[in-house]
Amino acid sequence: MRGPELLAPAGSPEALRAAVENGADAVYLGWGSFNARRGAKNFSDGEFAEALAYCRVRGVRVFLTLNILLTDRELPAALEAARAASRLGADAVLVQDWGLLDLLRQALPDLPLHASTQMSVFTSGGAREAAADGCERVVIARECSAEDTAAIIQNCPAEIEIFGHGALCMCYSGQCAMSALIGGRSGNRGRCAQPCRLPYGVNETAGDRRPLSLKDNCLADHLGEMAAMGVSCLKLEGRMKRPEYVAAVTGVYARLLEESRKPTAEERDILERAFSRSGFTDGYWRGRRGPDLFGFRPEDAAPAPPSGLLKVDRRVPVAFTALVRAGVPCSLTLDDGLGNHVAVTGPVPEPAGSRPLTLADLTARLQKTGGTPYLCVMDENSRVDPGLYLSAAAVNALRRDALDALSAARAAAPPRRECFPPPPPPETGCSADTPRFTVSVTTAAQLSGELLALHPARVLVPLEVLAALSALPEGETEWCAILPRVWRDRDEPQLKTWLDHAKSLGVTGAMAGNIGHLPLLRDSGLYIYGDYGLNVFNSRSLDYLRKKGLRSACVSFELRFSQIRDLRKPLPAEALVYGRLPLMITENCLIRNSGPCRCDRPNVLRDRTGAAFPLLPAYGHRTEIQNDRPLWLADLPDYRRLGLRYARLRFTTESPGECVQVFRDYLEGRSARGEFTRGLCKRGVE
């Protein structure tokens, strides 16, 4: 068995040909404006149609990336792009946005959908949830280990795709807001400016260290392990890379998969010359963290030309049936085994002179298919009568006409898929004239009586903090547990125990910030509320979560005021209106990577300007990076007129007294007392 499908990047028509010619089984590409590599060259309308035909002829599948968050205004155009791609014969569409997923399932029910890694899926429950919603394949997080991957494969009916080679993001995909908040270029919208590759200091001034810059991933040594556990697809990263890179990396992995082996020293050199950042890492796959995973590439580093490139000869086998009979036109029939069957005829053969045509001669001539994607396999039903002659030109024409006819048949779009009008927009009705305040805390100390005396509608407390409490403070409010943003299957027994304890304290709700939280919470008896990690960007996403049984949802803090106002709100909506916004959630503990672990004390990440970004410990000894300044909207009355049901005050590094003061300031609409940011509420993101 060859193992996983090899999926290569195609950021341009040139890169697509490089991928196909070097052995890719499938390619993924962007067409139009709605994909996570909007900076790549991508494809024009004509190039996209040509790419589909080119790949179909060669037996290579094409996946269209529509994997960004979309506004209400953009959803109709994204649907039309998917509709056109389906009509032209794209094999699948990758999606991140819940609203688009729901829309495509209703309007294009036959179009295969793949859950993008931007959905932040890293547990069996999350993968099963995506599968139940119609995704035939789930691309799991790059941070998943071999153990994690095997568990998901065993417990999910969908195909599982993993990233096998290329750049690693420091933050879990779909959860990074650093580029958006610092520069207005959203990674969730395909515009990441890669701030993680810049110098930073952990609890010190920024020097030349790169504590957020991971080495490129390389899992070339683990392909047999993947095949054995049932990985369906191995993805190579690189839609922003040159065609030469795509050719080199695809060729190496294609040979390794074809020959079921590990790379040679020469092949490792090819991979490193194509592109690397201080070498490669397979740390996440092996369940490891730490400074060995990190490296960077100098800005002036030029890619070295890979040495020893060998193209993979993976031509399409075609059964040839040739008949050369006396007195009738010669004929050639081709069958590719996939339902494409063509037949052509040539001249009537003449009586032979000194050297009659033999079946062996005819086979040798017909097998000269160089320059085409086909490999001739002569069928046992072929016949050549004795004593006949057919010129070389006639045989060549016969072969050429047959192959042209077969290419036309293979390039034709597949049968038309079902296509329905888009469903009507979701109902409105959950807007509010003025939002009620909710508060989220990070520590138990922030749960002061003075804070609760201000009557927040809800108090949101990390599940880990609740687990250490024997009773909740007195206060008339709804208590909600905030589940960890990142966890694994093996953590779920502990999380369920903590949820039971939280219920015994009087907690009645839980915040779901990941699709994998939903199966954890459905039988818990708790109300489920959507958190900001779900990246709600449009009205249909709210409606999707309503149909999932959620009682409210926090919208993305990358939305402008006007975009929040225009949401139809079929579900009560909440927005963050105060606090340090989370920039990243990382698998690595940044503190432990830089020296002795001191996660119980304040820590900061400093950039080249001196800005200090607080580092908060996250469940599982991970790190959450906070913005350097808090969001402040108290003196902007606009946020009260957006139809929100709830407005959240997010407390992270504040003292108990500061939490109370901020709440009072918001109740009275005061100006900020120190440095602050307006976030993205006015300027939005690209």
* Mean pLDDT, residues 134-159 taken together: 98
Residue 595 pLDDT: 84
Which of 399, 597, 486, 542 minimizes the C-alpha distance to 171? 486
Residue 65 φ then ψ, to 5°: -95, 115
Q: For residue 254, what pLDDT band results from cuts at 50, 70 and 90?
A: very high
Q: What is the secondary structure of 508-561 as a DSSP string?
A: -EEEE-STTHHHHHTTTT-EEEE-GGG-B-SHHHHHHHHHTT-SEEEBPTTS-H
Q: What is the secondary structure of 53-65 as a DSSP string?
A: HHHHHTT-EEEEE
Residue 165 pLDDT: 97
Torsion of CA 198, 204, 207, 210, to 10 degrees: -40
Residue 1 pLDDT: 47
Asked if 526 contacts 503 with a C-beta cutoff of 8 angstroms, the reply is yes
300 vs 43, higher pLDDT = 43
Judged against a pLDDT cut of 80, whether residue 281 lies above it is answered with yes
Contacting residues for 477 by C-beta, under 8 A, at least 6 apart = 452, 455, 456, 457, 458, 459
Judged against a pLDDT cut of 80, whether residue 299 lies above it is answered with no
Q: Write the pLDDT tens digit of every residue in 549-590.
A: 999 999 999 999 999 999 999 999 999 999 999 999 999 999
**Rounded CA separation 281/264 (Å):** 17
Asked if 643 contacts 637 with a C-beta cutoff of 8 angstroms, the reply is no
Q: Write the pLDDT tens digit of every residue in 349-375.
A: 999 988 899 999 999 999 999 889 999
Q: For residue 169, what pLDDT band results from cuts at 50, 70 and 90?
A: very high
Beta strands in 30-86 (DSSP E): 61-66
Distance of CA 97 to the CA centre of its chain: 11
Judged against a pLDDT cut of 60, whether residue 377 lies above it is answered with yes
What would you report as the CA-atom Rg of the chain, rounded to the nearest whole angstrom? 29
Whole-model pTM? 0.95
Judged against a pLDDT cut of 90, whether residue 514 lies above it is answered with yes
Contacting residues for 229 by C-beta, under 8 A, at least 6 apart = 146, 149, 150, 153
What is the percent of the chain with per-residue pLDDT over 70, rounded to a whole number?
Answer: 97
Q: Write the pLDDT tens digit of every residue in 56-112.
A: 999 999 999 999 999 999 999 999 999 999 999 999 999 999 999 999 999 999 999
Mean confidence (pLDDT) of the chain: 94
Instruction: Give the pair of three-digit tokens for residue 120.
Output: 């932040």
Residue 371 pLDDT: 86
